[in-house]
Amino acid sequence: MDRVILIESRAHGQPLAFHKQKLVLIFSAMRHFAESLRADGWQVSYLALEENHDHASGLLQCLVEQPCDEVVLMEPNSYRETQELRAACAAAKAECRMLPTVMFLVSRDEFASWAGAKKHLLMENHYRRVRAELDVLIEPDGKPVGGAWNFDIENRKTITQWRAMGPPTPPAAPTGNRDALTEAVIADVETFFPDSPGEADTFWLPVTRAESLVWLERFVTERLTSFGDFQDLMVTRERTMFHSLISPMINIGLLEPMECVRAAVSAWKNGTAPLSAVEGFVRQILGWREFVNGVYWLRMPDYASVNGLQAHRPLPSFFYTADTDLNCLKCSLQQVIDTGYNHHIQRLMILGNFLLLGGVRPQEALSWFTEMYLDAHDWVMAANVLGMALHADGGFMATKPYAGAGAYISKMSDYCKGCRYKPAVKSGKDACPFTLLYWAFYDRHQERFVRNPRTSMMVKSWLGRSSEDRATILREASEFLDAHVPSN
């Protein structure tokens, strides 16, 4: 009789110290899934945390205790785990048959065929191809609905525009159902992972498919309409704004990518959500999600060690404590410490931006992002952090670095109002460190970026300043880094 093997790996939280709420999400979802399988008549072998197995040793134990000829796996979403599980099957003399994953819409082979030997990939080209092939927001003549592939220009309302419009705020975010299984997992996480960041007892997410579908429906009916307008906005007292909050569930298989796309497109067809919001959401799933997974499998294992900008400062310790006087960093860091969640602009333009400008080692940054976020997995974070946020892959998947000065943060957030630094001040004790670091970054990499059409203007603007201004800014940027991001 066929049986399903599920393994709670204590090694999954080591050597990286995963956020406790991320661990609760994974293990509680597994235990609920095991219950549903048993209810459907499946035989389930379940190795719990106290047995202290990693996935490979747990699988090998099960195969030794109950030998079989074949192990059927859905393709794991981790390069390392794929190799380890193949080795475990080989050690037990069982054939390892891997089925294509259903968690993505573009297969690894298809992505590799599209990428070919290109030196640089453009997500937009990938996105348009996938949308056309899947017939999502496409007219009968093959053109995009609304006459454009991308409505991003309509999805960047500023903090000033938000205030002028009301300011609109979303309804309260849903909360997960804390049943006895989840409470038991919370206790286990506190027992086996006491030093991991965050608090398990404040867990707030769904752990079953039924609950996850409710969260998707709530997003489509309550927040999708305003999602496009304010998806880049950062507001201190509105931690989630109008974002979907479904990435933790879709990334562990509780939701399917295409059903999320269809739900959003249906809202547009029904007239309950504007095209700009729906297209922006669809682009996150068909565009970025599929793209970063493709890049991961295309470039691993070497991709994990890229450091194209030769960044060598260590990750600052305040990334685990939020003990900093930069209010944008403090707010974003405290939120992820408390909840395991930030939306994408907080991750990219506050946290990633700071690490990029500060020259922090990409691998340390990648470890931190992978540890701290509920939706973080190897395939998600490698390209998002190394490629997009830190430009460490030399521009393979991003045509320019996502570097921003204090003016951007002031434009897109209310963080600056509560900060001791002033984005309008160019130098001196009150100058925004992001602005100082921004210009120091382009000074440091001027030869590389002066040749890039998307960054040459910034380099030329910097070089056009007086030598005295440049010397002052570089000195102050260096003093800030030595105090806040000291070299080893």
pLDDT in tens, 402-446: 999 999 999 999 999 989 999 999 899 999 999 999 999 999 999
Q: Could you say which DSSP state residue 53 is in?
A: B
| Alpha-carbon span 322 to 242, nearest angstrom | 24
| Alpha-carbon span 300 to 387, nearest angstrom | 13
Arithmetic mean of pLDDT over the chain: 94
Q: Can you read off the two tokens belonging to residue 336?
A: 């992820």
| Alpha-carbon span 225 to 267, nearest angstrom | 9
- pLDDT range class, residue 54, cuts 50, 70, 90: confident
The pLDDT assigned to 344 comes to 95
What is the chain's Cα-based Rg?
Answer: 23
Residues 63-88, mean pLDDT to the nearest whole number:
90
Using the predicted structure, report yes or no on whether residue 56 has a pLDDT greater than 90: no
Q: Can you read off the two tokens belonging to residue 43?
A: 């035989």
Neighbours of 113 (CB within 10 A): 9
For residues 88 and 62, the answer to whether their CB atoms sit within 8 Å is no
- pLDDT range class, residue 175, cuts 50, 70, 90: confident
294-305 in b/e form (b: 16+ CB < 10 A) is bbbbbbbeebbe
Place of tokens 């938000």: 162
The pLDDT assigned to 92 comes to 87
Query: If we measure between CA atoms, which residue out of 413, 400, 282 comes closest to residue 343?
Result: 413
Residue 239 sits at φ, ψ, to 5 deg, of -65, -35
Least confident of 51-60, 144-153, 279-288, 463-472: 51-60
- pLDDT range class, residue 13, cuts 50, 70, 90: low
Give the model confidence (pLDDT) of 15-31 as tens digits.
Answer: 789 999 999 999 999 99
For residues 371 and 16, the answer to whether their CB atoms sit within 8 Å is yes
- pLDDT range class, residue 172, cuts 50, 70, 90: confident
Query: If we measure between CA atoms, which residue out of 297, 455, 317, 444 comes closest to residue 378?
Result: 297
The most distant pair of C-alpha atoms in the chain lies apart, rounded to whole Å, by 78
Using the predicted structure, report yes or no on whether residue 48 has a pLDDT greater than 80: yes
| Alpha-carbon span 351 to 342, nearest angstrom | 10
The pLDDT assigned to 230 comes to 94
407 compared with 156, residue with greater pLDDT: 407
Percent of the chain past pLDDT 90, that is, above it, reads 86
Pairing of strands 95-99, 70-74: parallel
Q: Could you say which DSSP state residue 236 is in?
A: T
| Alpha-carbon span 403 to 284, nearest angstrom | 21
Give the list of residues 6+ apart from residue 455 with CB closer than 8 angstroms, or none. Answer: 400, 401, 442, 449
pTM of the model: 0.95
Both ends of the chain: CA-CA distance in Å?
Answer: 57
Residues 206-220, mean pLDDT to the nearest whole number:
97
| Alpha-carbon span 99 to 4, nearest angstrom | 15
Looking at 242-377, list the stretches that DSSP marks H as alpha helix, in order from N- to C-terminal side: 247-250, 257-269, 275-282, 290-299, 327-339, 344-345, 353-358, 362-372
Place of tokens 């498919």: 209
The pLDDT assigned to 22 comes to 97
| Alpha-carbon span 226 to 238, nearest angstrom | 14
The pLDDT assigned to 487 comes to 82
The pLDDT assigned to 152 comes to 85
Question: What is the set of domains in the chain, with CATH numbers?
Answer: 3-99 (3.40.50.620), 108-149+205-299 (1.25.40.80), 317-484 (1.10.579.10)
Least confident of 8-22, 224-238, 328-342: 8-22
* Angle at CA of residue 241, ends 125 and 246, nearest 5°: 60
Residues 242-248, mean pLDDT to the nearest whole number:
96
